[in-house]
Amino acid sequence: MAQALEKNSVVAVVGSGAMGSGIAQVAAVAGHTVQLFDTRPEAVEKAIAGIGKALARLVEKGRMGAAEADLARERIHAMRALDEAKDAALVVEAVVEDLDAKRALFADLEGIVGPDCILATNTSSISVTAIGAQLKRPERLVGMHFFNPVPLMALVEVISGVATDKAAADTVHATAAAWGKSPVHAKSTPGFIVNRVARPYYAEALRLLLERAADPATIDAVMRDCGGFRMGPFELMDLIGHDVNYSVTQSVFNAYYGDPRFAPSVVQQELVNAGFLGRKTGRGFYRYGDDVAPPQAQAEPAQQGAEHATLGGADPVTQALKARLHVAEGPATIFLTDGRSATQRAADEGRPDTILFDLLLDPAKATRIALARADQCSAAAWNAAVALFQQAGFTVTRLDDVPGMAVMRTVAMLANEALDAVNQGVCSAAAVDIAMQKGVNYPRGPLAWADAIGLRHVFTVLANLGATYGEDRYRVSPLLRRKLAANPAGARIHAQ
């Protein structure tokens, strides 16, 4: 088992922006002497002062002792020149996201540091293989991708390029763990783990908006209150900035040679064209300002007649929901979405009063439920379904009848992308779940969620989406097919 760097090892950080200063702070708190460099000396002094203030706030909040904070601050030193990194055991680069700039920096560092020094890049999008291609010893270059804000975010993606030595990657992984982080190994492929697997969270929301399933505030509320996500996709895109989010989507799309699964959205492109970039410009999907009232999600008015509505289905989500509703047995009219529209399912099964509900993270505790009605559905059946959930304490939100609804199609696509990442050797199943929980705060790892829903149901959702749209975007991962073929009744990704 690889050992972390000794605490008496020197860590050099090149780049003193938000990422570089955060990395320096984490390394210093872990006990290392840290040398911080920037081409602008004043930026280094500003960063060190900022780290001191951040440590002081931790002391004020009782999260760190005053003596510990003072020692951590004293371990951070400004480098006047890059050659002062000659004794470093690890150099972490956190400069501009530009391949040529990173190559030039590592070429300089290679002539400065000792033969056992590990070189690490904090790149979020550039191939680690490409960055190291011109080095004399590319085997000691490792991706060490932190997430912002570094002191708070637990995830570190440890990225191995084609030439990266396993021992170097293992040492970086162990060192990140010793720094209190949750590191995961990944292969250098476009988007690594998080920026690849997260694409459907934005893409499916944008498709839902394009198809007028609901307005952004309603979809965001469904994703938060039903799916348990910390932020809805539209408010998250507004926070990230549409120029940034759209650019990352384009980058991944181009890197995968136009794979339709990663296709950018014309909806977001129009926002970028308009200059409506989100919070930073005062307008994105939402408007921002002191005098702007927050938009309200759609909610159905109170209804009566709950005794006329019943649930059908033996899946785990439906069973948990039945326990909360205490429904009577009878002809089922309400089902968990399986990727078909309610209208299509009503026609396929000869049930005109078909109503679908969206996936819930926790049916026992959810405060909102999203429903969709078939075009053939009677008003009486709809009102009864709404009343059934309202009596159980749910706010009922109606989505227009789009295939797969919101949470279900998004989670199915997240799981599908995660399965492809595992199938293609990018990372392990455990790593992808850790990455998505620790890196973007998902309420559950996508593969653990697929296990909870049932792999057969996830497959059915994806297959029905593919049949409806006729797009390769919804193709089922070969690994999902393999799992179901090996164990049709009880397939799981994670062993129990």
Indicate which residue of 32, 77, 145, 242 is catalytic. Answer: 145
User: Amino acid identity, residue 254?
Assistant: N
What residues form DSSP beta bridges with 336? 357
- 329 noted as active-site residue: no
Residues 6+ apart with CB under 8 A from 294: 217, 286
Strand order in the sheet with 395-398: 334-336, 355-357, 368-373, 395-398
At 217 the three-state DSSP class reads: helix
DSSP assigned state of 275: T
Indicate which residue of 124, 160, 188, 416 is catalytic. Answer: 124
As a three-state string, the secondary structure of 224-262 is HHCCCCCCCHHHHHHHHCHHHHHHHHHHHHHHCCCCHHH
| Residue ranges of E strands in 321-432 | 334-336, 355-357, 368-373, 395-398
What is the rounded CA–CA span in Å between residue 383 and residue 300? 9
- 195 noted as active-site residue: yes
For 403, list phi and psi in degrees, rounded to 5: -60, 130
CB-based contact 158:174 (threshold 8 Å):
no
What's the token pair of residue 99?
């391949």
Indicate which residue of 122, 195, 383, 477 is catalytic. Answer: 195
DSSP 58-70: HHHTTSS-HHHHH
Q: What is the dihedral of CA 381, 346, 361, 240, to 10 degrees?
A: -110
What is the rounded CA–CA span in Å between residue 411 and residue 364? 19
**Long-range contacts for 111-118 (Cβ within 8 Å, ≥24 apart)?**
112/82, 112/83, 112/85, 112/86, 113/85, 113/86, 113/88, 114/86, 114/87, 116/89, 117/88, 117/89, 117/90, 117/91, 118/89, 118/90, 118/91, 118/142, 118/168, 118/171, 118/172
- 124 noted as active-site residue: yes
**Tally of CB atoms within 10 A around 495:** 6
Indicate which residue of 93, 157, 204, 235 is catalytic. Answer: 157
Residue ranges of alpha helices (H) inside 291-338 are 316-325
Q: Identify which of 168, 162, 112 has the alpha carbon closest to the alpha carbon of residue 140.
A: 168
Q: Identify which of 4, 22, 5 has the alpha carbon closest to the alpha carbon of residue 13.
A: 22
- 173 noted as active-site residue: no
- Using only C-alpha atoms, what is the Rg of the chain? 25
46 burial level (CB within 10 Å; 0-12, 13-18, 19+): middle
7 burial level (CB within 10 Å; 0-12, 13-18, 19+): exposed
Tell me how far CA of residue 265 lies from CA of 147, 217, 394, 412, 456, in angstroms.
25, 18, 32, 19, 29
Q: Which residues are catalytic?
A: 124, 145, 157, 195
